[in-house]
Structure 1
Amino acid sequence: MSTPPLPGVRPATREDRAAIAAIYNAAIAERASTFETRPRMPEDIDAWLGKRHPVLVAEEDGRVIAYAATGAYSPRECYAGVADFSIYVAPEARGRSVGQHVLQALLKEAEAAGFHKLTSRVFATNVRSRALLGRLGFREVGVHEKHAPLEGVWHDVVVVEKLLLANVR
């Protein structure tokens, strides 16, 4: 049995807002990868688009099945070259390397946008995401213990980073 081809990856547009919100809302409902509990509306995604920080979607058969987004790490000017990132894959598209594919594209786009480092925080219990990040060269920097509670349970997060060497001067 052959593996299906990898989806196309492109910059997110306003037309993708509902799909991005739906994918994020599925992750919120699962309570395994984000501390957020309030479902997002398509309008909430507007703030992510059209700025220096790349936001990409993976599309298959005309349907968005994953997204990867960067955002400001800090408002301080000295950290302008560092971006936080997140990646979410629709439940039905998991296990097919879609996440790896869209994150590899995000690394290229972030480097092209001039960032020298990407960072994120991953639930310590999210072994699949941690394994993916390790395969792509992210370094686990440390653990923030009891970073935040989710439905009354405190969770540790692993801090990850990756240098984008073309922009390290």
Structure 2
Amino acid sequence: MLIRTFEQTDYPCVKTIYQQGIDTGNATFQLTAKSWDEWNTSMHSHSRLVAVENNKVIGWAAISPISNREVYSGVAEVSVYVGLEAQGKGVGQKLLSHLVLESELNNIWMLQAAIFPENISSIKLHANNGFRQLGIREKLGKMNDTWRDVVLMERRSKFVGISGN
């Protein structure tokens, strides 16, 4: 398996994997995968990765800004998605560990994740990559007429944005 920088030509595969995650009902409040333009403008232009095996994209990871205010320029939200056929093989671990390094190279000092509590594997993945659980936002949003809670997790860089930087 190879982790490499995302290219626009990867988006059809990324969109398919994104929709697979959406279809689980435990990945995002999003109900359908975004179009290329929506996805492209919602994500940082850097720190976009794909996992490739046998010349096929099997997973992706990217970060999105949490705000357009300058004070939050180093804070980003994480997205990690693994195709159904590749789950349980360490793809998410490789993507997220590479994403952490890539984000730090691009001056991101804080990564955050909002994860449905039912998505235990994602919570474990983030914890294994230095994210800590901050708490649970109860009934944050409705999904198909059901209120959903979200576990908030964050990872503070040990290198970027510390005193003296």
When the two chains are superposed, the root-mean-square deviation of aligned CA atoms in Å is: 1.4
Partner residue, 2:14: 20
Partner residue, 2:155: 162
Scaled by the length of structure 2, the TM-score of the pair is 0.92
Partner residue, 1:76: 69
Query: Quick check: 2:117–2:151 contact (8 Å CA) kept in 1?
Result: yes
Scaled by the length of structure 1, the TM-score of the pair is 0.90
Structure 2 unaligned spans of 5+: none
Query: Quick check: 1:122–1:157 contact (8 Å CA) kept in 2?
Result: yes
Partner residue, 2:110: 117
Cα separation, 1, equivalents of 2:59 and 2:48: 11
Q: What's the offset of the Cα at 1:43?
A: 4.4
Query: Quick check: 1:14–1:49 contact (8 Å CA) kept in 2?
Result: no
Identity among equivalent positions (%) equals 32
Structure 1 unaligned spans of 5+: 1-6
Number of corresponding residues: 162
Partner residue, 1:134: 127
Q: Secondary structure at the match of 1:92?
A: helix
Counterpart selection for 2:40 from 43, 46, 56 = 46
Query: Quick check: 1:20–1:42 contact (8 Å CA) kept in 2?
Result: no
Partner residue, 2:24: 30
Say if 1:8 and 1:48 are closer, same or farther in 2 by CA, change over 3 A. farther
Q: Secondary structure at the match of 1:85?
A: strand
Q: Secondary structure at the match of 1:165?
A: coil
